[in-house]
């Protein structure tokens, strides 16, 4: 909801503005004053999103009020509605950041056009500010209570964290785009990357069990997911602490290939650390003798035990990286194993998938007399890979499928994307799909969002909309509307 304050000394004019504002469901009048001094004090207390003010009023005049509000409440948008068309008034209003200057009497058409512009502007600004709040919470910045209350206005909320597949990697953090939803007041969504959603909604809107059922249905065919929530509603001031607790639980409890629905208040007792570990001496000996069947047996034996014990993913990744570091040192082979396998740990859907990738990676790295990759490690060859991706955007594409098609390991394909595209495969794929969607809207602005989503291989139109806005800054509908305005 967009909160409006009206500063106008004429009662009739004030009532007319209230009547006009009342015709727009996204706006509500939360305060009014007949003089500039009272308006200034009330605005400091109420923190509206939008101020309508006259120029000539008792106490502070409109220009003085604009300057005062701009200094004390910089997030408030400013509009002047006045009977005075003097250029100096308009100039002063513009200098104080006024968005519009309407002359009385205001025509309904003119007011409607202005309100439509303001709604888009303010909603976008609210979305960005809510996203910044969540970013500050996740990075453990101190959050001012007044800032929280301004953007989260209900007394009690439910909160839930949903993570599809594995934890986000560190490669390309500078290019990773934070995911935000439409940021409607009743359903606020944030994510550190495209696999994550942190939901916040008023307690009375939807119960936690109902939310969990929705997530079960939604993620049934998309691999495993981890959902963490609080059964009881939380107060606004508790949001930062609860969010940080949920991220800590996620890092400690996420298990490769296992869907989990965890209640933060009643977590199961964690499984004690198992003693299984890779027998490095045996693996080194088998690699030395190039006996890959036995290397694979040792890998599968340990990872199989990890899977049975529901070993946390972060510990599993640490164990694998320690093994590869030891092998790299023992055989004097330079490996970027953390970077090469990062996408695998993030996107693998099962332990079997991880085992396959790891076995291929070890064989590729340490096999003597293996084929040279010089012919495929070229920009010209990578262009063939890109062409195949672009020709199949409307179909499901995974790193493993792409690697199988070109006859190479997924870790090697991952390295090609980082080398030539400068981003991981999944980020490249998502950006390319959204670029294709933009082209569809340019060619046909009347294209339905669900149709565009399907044509670029993202069947969930709501997820598509989140990605689209995070990358372009516009919702699909806003983007298509802009194309119509360019070519009426």
Two tokens, residue 127: 């979305």
The answer on 262 and 154 residing in a single domain is yes
Q: What total of structural domains would you count in the chain?
A: 4
**3-state secondary structure (DSSP) of residue 3:** strand
Residue 273, pLDDT > 70, answer no
Would 117 be classed as within a structural domain?
no
**Position 473 confidence tier, pLDDT thresholds 50, 70, 90:** confident
pLDDT tens for 64-109 read 898 899 888 888 999 988 876 665 667 666 776 788 888 888 888 8
Two tokens, residue 239: 């949001």
Would 135 be classed as within a structural domain?
no
Would 119 be classed as within a structural domain?
no
Q: What is the DSSP code string of 189-257?
A: EEESSTTEEEEEEETTT--HHHHHHHHHHHTTTS--EEEEE-SS-EEGGGHHHHHHHHHHHHHHH--TT
Q: What is the DSSP code string of 289-348?
A: TT-HHHHHHHHHHHHHHHHHTT--HHHHHHHHHHHHHHHHHHHT----HHHHHHHHHHH-
251 Cβ contact list (under 8 Å, min separation 6): 167, 314
**Position 254 confidence tier, pLDDT thresholds 50, 70, 90:** very high
The answer on 262 and 153 residing in a single domain is yes
pLDDT tens for 128-176 read 888 788 878 877 778 778 788 877 878 899 999 999 999 887 654 444 4
Range of the domain at 478: 379-486
Among 309, 331, 366, identify where a domain stops. 366
Question: Which DSSP state fits 447?
Answer: -
Give the separation between CA 108 and CA 114, rounded to whole angstroms.
Answer: 10
pLDDT tens for 45-67 read 898 999 999 888 898 888 889 88
In CATH, what number is assigned to the domain containing residue 251?
Answer: 3.30.70
The answer on 392 and 322 residing in a single domain is no
Would 442 be classed as within a structural domain?
yes
Q: What is the pLDDT of residue 52?
A: 93
Give the separation between CA 431 and CA 227, rounded to whole angstroms.
Answer: 26
67 Cβ contact list (under 8 Å, min separation 6): 96
Average pLDDT, the chain: 86
The answer on 426 and 391 residing in a single domain is yes
Cα 233 to chain centroid, rounded = 23
Give the separation between CA 241 and CA 261, rounded to whole angstroms.
Answer: 20
The answer on 247 and 183 residing in a single domain is yes
The answer on 291 and 253 residing in a single domain is no
Task: Note the pTM of the prediction, 2 decimals.
Answer: 0.77
Cα 424 to chain centroid, rounded = 17
């Amino acid at each position: 909801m967009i909160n409006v304050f009206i500063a106008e000394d004429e009662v009739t004019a004030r009532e007319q503005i209230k009547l006009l504002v009342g015709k727009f469901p996204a706006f509500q009048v939360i305060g009014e004053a007949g003089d500039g001094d009272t308006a200034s004090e009330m605005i400091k207390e109420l923190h509206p999103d939008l101020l309508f003010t006259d120029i000539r009023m008792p106490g502070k005049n409109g220009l003085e009020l604009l300057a005062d509000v701009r200094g004390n409440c910089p997030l408030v948008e400013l509009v002047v509605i006045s009977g005075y068309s003097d250029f100096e008034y308009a100039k002063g209003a513009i200098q104080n950041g006024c968005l519009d200057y309407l002359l009385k009497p205001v025509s309904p058409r003119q007011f409607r056009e202005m309100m439509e512009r303001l709604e888009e502007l303010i909603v976008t600004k609210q979305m960005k500010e809510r996203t910044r709040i969540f970013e500050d919470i996740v990075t453990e910045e101190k959050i001012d209570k007044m800032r929280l209350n301004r953007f989260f206005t209900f007394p009690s909320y439910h909160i839930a964290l949903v993570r599809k597949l594995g934890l986000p990697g560190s490669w390309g953090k500078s290019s990773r785009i934070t995911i935000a939803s439409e940021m409607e007041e009743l359903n606020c969504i944030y994510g550190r990357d495209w696999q994550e959603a942190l939901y916040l909604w008023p307690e009375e809107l939807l119960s936690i069990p109902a939310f969990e059922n929705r997530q079960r249905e939604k993620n049934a065919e998309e691999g495993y997911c981890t959902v963490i929530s609080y059964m009881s509603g939380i107060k606004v001031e508790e949001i930062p602490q609860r969010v940080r607790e949920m991220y800590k639980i996620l890092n400690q409890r996420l298990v490769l290939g296992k869907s989990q629905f965890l209640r933060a208040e009643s977590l199961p007792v964690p499984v004690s650390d198992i003693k299984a570990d890779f027998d490095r001496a045996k693996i080194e000996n088998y690699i030395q003798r190039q006996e890959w069947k036995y290397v694979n047996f040792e890998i599968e034996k340990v990872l199989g035990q990890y899977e049975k014990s529901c070993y946390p993913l972060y510990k599993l990744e640490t164990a694998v990286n320690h093994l590869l570091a030891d092998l790299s040192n023992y055989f004097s082979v330079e490996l970027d194993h953390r970077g090469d396998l990062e996408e695998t740990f993030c996107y693998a859907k099962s332990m079997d998938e991880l085992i396959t990738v790891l076995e291929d990676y070890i064989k590729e790295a340490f096999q003597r007399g293996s084929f040279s990759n010089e012919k495929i490690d070229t920009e010209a060859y990578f262009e063939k890979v890109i062409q195949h991706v672009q020709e199949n955007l409307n179909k499901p594409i995974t790193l493993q499928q792409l690697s199988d098609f070109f006859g190479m390991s997924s870790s090697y394909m991952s390295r090609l994307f980082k080398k030539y595209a400068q981003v991981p495969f999944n980020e490249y794929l998502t950006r390319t799909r959204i670029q294709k969607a933009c082209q569809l809207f340019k060619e046909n602005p009347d294209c339905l969002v669900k149709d565009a989503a399907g044509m670029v291989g993202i069947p969930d139109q709501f997820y598509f909309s989140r990605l689209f806005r995070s990358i372009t800054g516009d919702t699909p509908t806003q983007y298509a509307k802009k194309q119509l305005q360019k070519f009426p």
